[in-house]
Amino acid sequence: MDKNVGFRLKEQRNDKSVTQKAVAKVTDVSEKTVSRWESGTPIPSDKLTLLSDLGLNVFYILTGDKGETSLVGKMDTFSTNETELIDDFRKMDADKQAAIMQTAKLFASNGRVEVTNTDFDNSKNKGYINQGNHDGEVKFGK
């Protein structure tokens, strides 16, 4: 049998011991609809995204690639520090996230990265990353 999206959904579901009933409940459809998906009926994208709540690898279901190109399936391998960092990052506004991304790229590239001016302000601090190339340093100021 050719492995299509429906086949991979069933495969993932069986690998994770997830019932059609559980898929139906999470996606708010009938078990018969889940059965149709597994038989080749297209799965609406808004329903597909919900499958990750059951621990299913949505990237694999869509592409057939079980590689590490997707965070789905890797979430349980994050360290406590990584999980905390992600949680904190999600609480930040867009300007702070941009500053963090630029700083992370700087450190990940052994200190050599082109950054643009990024300002942020909140009740506790003000900060910026100077524009330009930096070798191993990022200057923050008030």
Instruction: Return d(Cα 60, Cα 63) in angstroms, integer.
Output: 5
| Mean pLDDT, 10 residues at a time, the chain of 142 residues | 80 93 94 94 88 87 70 59 80 83 75 48 44 48 46
* pLDDT at position 57: 87
Contacts of 105 (CB under 8 A, 6+ apart): 113, 115
Residue 43 is classified by DSSP as P
- What domains, with CATH codes, occur in the chain? 5-75 (1.10.260.40), 78-135 (no CATH)
The pLDDT, as a whole number, for residue 71 is: 52
pLDDT value at position 111?
A: 54
Q: Tell me which residue of 83, 115, 81, 114 sits closest to 98, measured CA to CA.
A: 115
pLDDT of residue 67: 64
Residue whose pair of structure tokens reads 């399936």 in the numeric block: 73
